[in-house]
Structure 1
Amino acid sequence: MKISKIKSLLLFFPVLIAGCKSSETVSEVKVSNSKTVLQAEDFKHYADYFNRMEDENIAKAVPNDSAWTWMESNIPLFECPQDNFEEMYYFRWWSLRKHITDTPQGYAITEFLVDRSYADKYNLIACALGHHIYEFRWVHNPKYIEQNVNIWYRGNDGKPMKKLHKFSSWTADALYNRYLVNKDEKYLLDFYPDMVSDYARWEEERQRPDGLFWQNDVKDGMEESLSGGRHVRNARPTINSYMFANAEALQTMATMNGDTDKAAYFKAKSEKIKNLVEQKLWNKNDLFFETLTEKDTSSNVREAIGFIPWYFNLPSKNKGFEKAWEQVKDKEGFAAPFGLTTAERRSPRFRSHGTGTCEWDGAVWPFATSQTLTAMANVLNNYDQKVVGKEDYFKQMNLYVESQYYRGRPYIGEYLDETTGYWLMGDRERSRYYNHSTFNDLMITGLVGLRPRADEKIEVNPLIPQDKWDWFCLDNVLYHGDIITIVWDKTGEKYHKGQGLRVFRNGKEVAASSKLEKVISE
């Protein structure tokens, strides 16, 4: 049912083929008749404001004058009583579509709007590809991210782009998690051979004799870190978590493809990496996952990358690993006035040796913030622990929202000062609209709590404290080919759909609770 249902929605409305020009890219998928509660036109003022608030520095496939048409056709709608959350939600969709680029091979998604000397063809950079897939999985029209992935893996005369491995990657995991949203098994399995080859290439390039993977911090996209260096071959929590997740995804793809031998092959690989990460990267004194140096000794410094294992649910449950999350609440750890730092603040080397252009020695980076918040949502959903709670998640999401302003206007850039909130590259044109993180995926899967699943049940677990908001609504979510609506109405007087938390599939209620708690449809 699933992909056929999606295609039926697509076929009902005009969708343009790859390679069309900018003026032709505004006719997208529309499912407005399936919405239950919210009306798109009530949110058009956000796009109008964003269009007016500053110059359009660079126009690509969907220019500003077509922004709202694209948004109306492609995005879930969101409403809440906290204005900055709502404004930032629409700003991040508005800024995301700026990066959709027309190429001779189809659509591509850029990281910077301005050209970068180290980019591949079409100004593509692989560092945030996983983020792009996670964020675009909620866009109704699949062509943008699908054509982008196709360019990355087949755009070099049928082979991967030359600079695909310039940065670490969790692409196989991201593609599987996209499948959990759209259930397009045909597309996923079409890329299964590419992902198998990609995994083998990473093993050839970066695997140590003990089975762990090494990486330079710059090729993790995290240069000038406290634990690494541009030429140091350390075993970092980043690439090892990514390779664990890619192996898990490939195990599942192999099973879907009927290849039991390959499924067992990748299961063994993921289990080996998991054990090595727990045994070798866990610092028992610091109670944290830390980088292992070339000399096989711990770097003895806590960095935000130590939370990444939970992004993929790698750490075993009930073995004490969750103690690491105490550091997100500790002002000597990662808790700062404007968000989560990239290194612990107690370190004498904190913010000590950045280059002035890329400083991962403590400053706040949205790339890392979105990884940590995805990981925290997994801890709150999948681990029985009392170290962090909904209040902690909401606090950090609130700081993430507050940090994304510059000179009084919504802004997303490279990195910022943890105490002042000042964007350290904010006056450089390259930094504006930096597409290097997720935000709306966090809003959907974390804050509102729609948890993608492989089965046909709908699971919703909002990470909003019970008395924080009296109402909110996420509507027009294209999920498994259906339109999902999630409503919280404390009194029942806001939306007139009943009191409490209610979940609708194509307008029909499928789950409900009087409280903000996990609900699962039958």
Structure 2
Amino acid sequence: MRYSALSSAALAALLFFLLTSNTASADPSLQERVGVYIAEFNAADAASKVATLVSNADATDWVLANAPLFECPSPQLEKIYYFRWWTYRKHLRQTPHGRVLTEFLLPVTHAGPFNTVSCALGHHLAEGRWLRDAALLDEYLRFWLHSGENGGPAAHLHQFSGWLAAAVWDRYLVTGDRDGTVALLDDLIADYGRWQTERQRPDGLFWQYDVRDGMEESISGGRRVENIRPTINSYTAANARAIARIAELANKPEVARHFQSEAETLQAKLLNALWDPQAEFFKVRRPDGAFSDAREAIGFIPFTFNLAHPEHAVAWKQLNDPEGFKGPWGITTAEQRHPQFRTHGTGTCEWDGAVWPFATSQTLGGLANVLRGPPQSYVTRDDFLAQMEIYARAHQQDGKPYIGEYHDEQTGAWLITGPKAERSRHYNHSTFNDLVITGLVGLVPRADDVIEVDPLLPPDAWDWFRLEGVPYHGRLVTIAWDRTGERYGNGPGLSISVDGRELARSANLERLTAKLPAPAERPDAVK
């Protein structure tokens, strides 16, 4: 095997993984299959001239060293899981500030130094928190928060709205790295203050141009229209709540109380101002105070950040409505019954209805929260699996794995074509593997020493799956489902193992918890 592109920390993580994982019970051909998948991805990418930090030749080694291994009965979903790690790796860049992640492989005019773009930063952090090389995202965060003038934030951090503090907290729930998270507190407080200065209205709500949400050519907005949007208001409320929690970690109770109050106040304003009771949906308010007449997928975002209340769950009846957001190739970004649906042209990044993986990631995150929340009658776990299968199926072009910017909801065709299509290839603008890990498999990150697994997979859907080598709170976790016990030979049911030792088992595919053992020393890449 070749490891020239791997850090010593990543090598240490791989060695520790091989020594502690109960690999004998796993399908012995899985690592072989990973190699076959990546050889296929490399062959399809043979014409690429883009230089990357970790080359295609080293991609198999990088994935095996860093990513949790996953297998399931769906060949398509399994293959795309590894395709997404393969593409994530392509976006790594070495800079004087450490490693960063790009959104586009080719240079784009709106990027900052090293072709970085802040739009999908939260998605990058969500996906990358599951890698065993934790130093990667430490470096990436330092770039955004300290590569600017006089060691301040990068000048283009606020080029797009974002949920940075919330993503930092969510990463902490996986890594358990208290010191590293607390070290970012002052930066995140300052970042929150800049958003208040730049975008807060006198009434306490926040406004944004749709293009600065990364969602231009929308039905409700415009590139110079200062709308009150569910996006930035949800992000900011979630950021305030995250800062409060990080302040608690830092033993700063006054700071925690202040930001918890900020979060609760903004949440209340958001729910009051942006919920349209007639449409039964969260919607954009225009500068004149009127609601937009369009339901858009951004109306699901308050659920993504657990800001909505149980009575708002009625919004989800739109997910399965063919006149709402249900498309044969994915969740549309606007309701299909609207007269302006798909009327803004094609090939110029329109958010007037076509399917954007950026939004699919957010919507499925919100769906997961609803399914784990109070009982409701609008969506089920079958819907989650169905949407994940559609999402996986959409990762193709000309019969080969592909991820681009956005695609047609009826045909699945990717909509950036011609010479511009090369800039969209392997677009790093969404999550997929985070949804597999936290959604289908159901590892629910927590701040305490309890490991919780709550699969969103319908009980009768799959007879088996396995996710192994997941870095979690300084340990390596394996989650396996084996209906009959014949697949892995460890008995029937759902099991949680930590560092090779089984901690909990259930005969059924259901919520399962276990207390984590006391932490032990781990290689740098899994701390």
Kept in 2: contact 1:426–1:432 (CA 8 A): no
2:381 equivalent in structure 1? 390
Deviation by residue 1:66-91 (Cα, 9 ceiling, x = unmatched): 11111111000001111001100000
Contact 1:414/1:431, CA 8 A, preserved across alignment: yes
The C-alpha deviation readout for 1:113-148, integer Å capped at 9, x for no partner, is 000111111100000000000000001001221111
Q: Corresponding residue for 2:348?
A: 357
Comparing 505-514 with 289-298, greater Cα deviation is found at: 505-514
Residue 45 (structure 2) aligns with: 54
The one-letter code sitting in structure 1 at the alignment partner of 2:276 is: N
Q: CA deviation at 1:455?
A: 0.8
- Which residue among 258, 262, 275 is the counterpart of 2:255? 262
Identity of aligned residues (%): 48
| Residue 62 (structure 1) shift | 0.4
Find the aligned partners of 2:76 and 2:469 in 1 and give their Cα distance: 21
Structure 1 residue 456 displacement after superposition:
1.1
Structure 1 residue aligned with 2:398: 407
Residues 363 and 416 in structure 1, CA contact (< 8 A), matched pair in contact too:
yes
**Superposition pairs for residues 260-409 of structure 1, below 5 Å?**
260-317=253-310, 320-354=311-345, 356-409=347-400
Q: 1:447 aligns with which of 425, 431, 440?
A: 440
1:339-384, CA deviations, whole angstroms, 9 ceiling, x for partnerless residues? 0000000000000114632110000000000000011011111333
Counterpart of 1:187 (choices 180, 186, 189) is: 180
CA positional deviation for 1:54:
2.8
What CA distance in whole angstroms lies between the structure 1 residues aligned with 2:469 and 2:378?
34
**Separation in 2 of the partners of 1:66 and 1:58?**
15
Partner of 1:251: 244
Q: Which amino acid aligns with 1:508?
A: R
Say if 2:424 is the partner of 1:431.
Answer: yes
3-state DSSP class of the match of 1:521?
strand
> Do 1:283 and 1:300's aligned partners in 2 also have CA atoms closer than 8 Å?
no
CA distance in 1, matches of 2:346, 2:188: 35
Q: What CA deviation, in whole Å up to 9, does each residue of 1:397-443 have, x standing for no partner?
A: 11000111100011010000000000111551001000000000000
Please list every run of 5 or more consecutive structure 2 residues that lacks an aligned counterpart in the other structure. Answer: 516-527
Question: 1:25 & 1:354 partners in 2: Cα distance?
Answer: 46
Match of 1:469 in 2: 462
SS in 2 for 1:434: coil
Matched, 1:514 2:507: yes
**Matches of 1:328 and 1:473 in 2, distance apart?**
29
Counterpart in 2 of 1:67? Answer: 59
Alignment pair present for 1:487 and 2:480: yes
Aligned equivalent of 2:222, options 199, 217, 229:
229
Tell me the matched-pair count. Answer: 501
Query: More displaced, 50-59 or 150-159?
Result: 50-59
Partner residue in 2 for 1:34:
20
Show the counterpart of 1:6.
none
Following the alignment from structure 2 to structure 1, what is the Cα–Cα distance between the partners of residues 91 and 45? 17
Aligned-pair CA distance for 1:23 = 4.8
- Displacement of 1:219 after TM fit? 0.2
Determine the C-alpha separation between the residues in 2 that align with 1:356 and 1:475: 40
The answer to whether the aligner puts 1:104 opposite 2:96 as a matched pair is yes
* 1:59 to partner: Cα distance: 2.3
Take 2:275 and 2:451, find their aligned partners in 1: how far apart are those partners?
35
Structure 2 residue aligned with 1:133, among 125, 133, 140?
125
Find the counterpart in structure 2 of residue 170 from structure 1.
Answer: 163
Match of 2:142 in 1: 150
Equivalent-residue separation in structure 1 for 2:73 and 2:6 (angstroms): 36
Moved more, 189-198 or 377-386: 377-386
Residues 6, 62 of structure 2: 8 Å contact kept: no
User: Which residue does the alignment assign to 1:241?
Assistant: 234
Stretches of structure 1 that go unaligned for 5 or more consecutive residues are 1-14, 16-21
* Distance in 2, Cα, partners of 1:312 & 1:383: 15
Q: Which moved more, 1:42-51 or 1:462-471?
A: 42-51
152-161 or 52-61, larger mean C-alpha shift: 52-61
Are 1:220 and 2:220 matched, yes or no?
A: no
Give SS of 1:91's match.
helix
Matches of 1:294 and 1:32, distance apart in 2: 57
Normalising by structure 1, we get a TM-score of 0.94
Distance 2:345 2:222 in 1: 11
Q: Determine the structure 2 residue equivalent to 1:12.
A: none
Distance change in 2, residues 1:485/1:334 (3 Å) = same
Q: Cα offset for 1:36?
A: 2.0
Distance, in Å, in 2 between the alignment partners of 1:155 and 1:36 is: 42
- Helix, strand or coil at the partner of 1:458: strand
Q: CA RMSD in A?
A: 1.5
Q: Matches of 1:24 and 1:374 in 2, distance apart? A: 31
2:76 corresponds to which residue? 84
Give the letter aligned to residue 393 of structure 2. E
Secondary structure of the residue that 1:252 maps to in structure 2? helix
- What is the alpha-carbon distance in structure 2 between the residues aligned to residue 94 and residue 475 of structure 1? 18
1:45: how far off?
1.5
Give 1:103-122 correspondences, 5 Å limit: 103-122=95-114
Residue 24 of structure 1: CA displacement?
6.2
Shift of 1:41: 2.7
Which residue in 2 is equivalent to 1:7? none
Give the residue type in structure 2 aligned to 1:373: L
Question: 2:401 & 2:389 partners in 1: Cα distance?
Answer: 14
CA distance in 1: counterparts of 2:216 and 2:284, whole angstroms: 14
Partner SS for 1:108: strand
CA 1:355/1:491 → structure 2, altered by over 3 Å: closer, same or farther?
closer
Instruction: Note the alpha carbon deviations across 1:154-193, whole angstroms, 9 max, x for none.
Output: 0014011111100001010000100000100111011110
Between the aligned partners of 2:346 and 2:408, the Cα distance in structure 1 is: 14
Contact 2:346–2:415 (8 Å) recurs in 1: no
Partner of 1:422: 413
Q: Secondary structure at the match of 2:476?
A: strand
1:182-229 Cα shifts (integer Å, max 9, x gaps): 100111011110000000000000001111100000000000111100
Shift of 1:316: 2.0
Check the 8 A contact 1:411/1:433 in 2, yes or no. Answer: yes
Equivalence for 1:202: 195
